[in-house]
Amino acid sequence: MKNLIKLEDTAFFLLSLYFFLQLDISWWWYAAFILVPDIGMIGYAMNKSIGAVTYNIFHHRGIAVLLLLISWYSHVFWLEVVAVILLSHGSLDRIFDYGLKYKDDFKHTHMQEL
């Protein structure tokens, strides 16, 4: 089952790369922004509960897909870039077993206990 989930996450990651290729933007922007969603970890400076919420907002693929749909509907280019980066980063994290966080501990994710 774990391999099947990793395959699904890899498919999402490749799909996000395809979406990025469709954007009229240089590849170096991808390299510059791919780690930006980890800014969600700043919430852990306040406490574990807030940290989990802020981390999960920046790593939830559903939010990324919603933003992508909004960007396509509204034709807002920068929102499309943000959405593709969020989708890509969230998928890449899951490939390496970093999942959404529970409020009790940073190492307790929906994928495993790190």
The tokens of 18 are what?
């395809």
Distance CA 87, CA 34 (A): 10
Are the beta carbons of 90 and 9 closer than 8 angstroms?
A: no
Q: Would the pTM count as exceeding 0.85?
A: yes
pLDDT per residue rounded down to tens, the chain (114 residues): 788 989 999 999 999 999 999 999 999 999 999 999 999 999 999 999 999 999 999 999 999 999 999 999 999 999 999 999 999 999 999 999 888 888 887 777 766 655
- Residue type at position 68: L
